[in-house]
Structure formats: C-alpha cells, structure tokens
Amino acid sequence: MADGSRVLSIEAIVARFGVVAIALGAGLEGETAVVTGGILAHQGLVAWPAAVLAAAIGSFIADQIFFTIGRRARDGRWVGKLRKRRVYARVMGMMERYPVGFIFAFRFLYGLRTISPVAIGTSEVPTRLFVAVNAVSAACWASIFIGIGYLFGEAFQELAARWRPSLPHILMAAALVMVAAAIGWGLRMMWQRHKESSDRA
C-alpha cells in the first residue's frame, strides 16, 4: 500500500481537526484564531462555511458559559471581585442604556469581552434575549474575522507559492503561530491584571 494511503497528509489532518481548533480558539483566544481559520479556509484546508460555523459556535458557547456564571454565581467570590471593578459599573451603565445593542456589540470591544457576559448575567436581562442576540452577534463576528483571514489568505498563498514549504516548515510555522497566540494571551492577562490593580487604587 502506498505511503500516501497509510499516512494522513497535513491537509487531511488540518481538515479533520481544524474546525475543532477554530471553535476552541474562538472561545478561548478570540480574533487571532478566527483569522487563522479564515486563512485555512482560503487554502482549502477547511470549508469556509464550516470555519464560520465553528468560530460562531465557539464564541457563542464561551459567552453563554460566562453569562451562566454571572447568572448562577452572582454572589460567588469571583463574580464579587468583578463587580467591584470600575469597568463592571461602566459595562452595566452601557447595558442598561442600550441592552440589545450592547449584548450584540460587546464581543467587538477589546477589554470587555470576558467581563461583559458575566455582568449581563448578573442583571435582569432575560436569558432568552441574551441567547438570541448572542447567537446573532457570534455569527456576525465569526463571518467578519473569518472573512478577514480569507482575504489575507490570498497574500499568504502567494508567499507559499514562492516558498513551497515542506511539512517541517509548515509545522514550524504552526508552532510559531501557537507561541505568538500564547504570548498575546499572556500580554492580555497582564493588561487585565494591571487594570484590576488600577481599579483598586
């Protein structure tokens, strides 16, 4: 039997697990993972509709989890710490003035993506309303950032055509992307801790 039939190609591996990675990345990391999913879609490694659906589902589920934490554990220690931060009051102010608009827009606002669904969960916003608007927002967000990655994928494809990377090169590039995402996540956590310290001051 030929080697090609016994060993999964890198394209087959990405096609099989790429959608799951996009969903997890959308929920845990955000835009970087979703844009990367758009690049994969442009390369034909993941179907474009599947990439959008995975990103939307990942983002939707993550925000539903945070909303549920706010709703079910509003008197808990972690939620209590969030409620003492100045940004919590700012989020609640915007949400009270524009409930539907803010639920739709918060995932596009840097620095408010994690605390916003928790804060909304502590409010009187009906669960059904949050679920409906969150679903529409997640679909729009996923379409936009997958689209950005898809457009950027054209430039990436031109570079790849000149370079003609081998499997080790592809794996190295993937590792670098993961390291960059980890660094970005770390910097985001440091920035959030700095803001928390400033809020307590």
Number of domains in the chain: 2
Q: Beta-carbon neighbour count of residue 8 at 10 Å?
A: 12
What does the pLDDT look like over 71-129, one tens digit per residue? 887 777 777 787 777 888 788 888 888 888 889 988 888 777 778 888 888 888 899 99
Q: What is the pLDDT of residue 137?
A: 93
Whether 98 and 187 map to the same domain: the answer is no
SS (HEC) of 72-92: HCCCCHHHHHHHCCHHHHHHH
In the structure encoding, which two tokens stand for residue 23, read together? 């969903």
Whether 42 and 107 map to the same domain: the answer is yes
Q: How far apart are CA 154 and CA 68, in angstroms?
A: 40
What does the pLDDT look like over 8-66, one tens digit per residue? 455 555 566 778 888 888 888 778 888 888 888 887 888 889 899 999 999 999 999 99
Whether 150 and 174 map to the same domain: the answer is no
Whether 143 and 190 map to the same domain: the answer is no
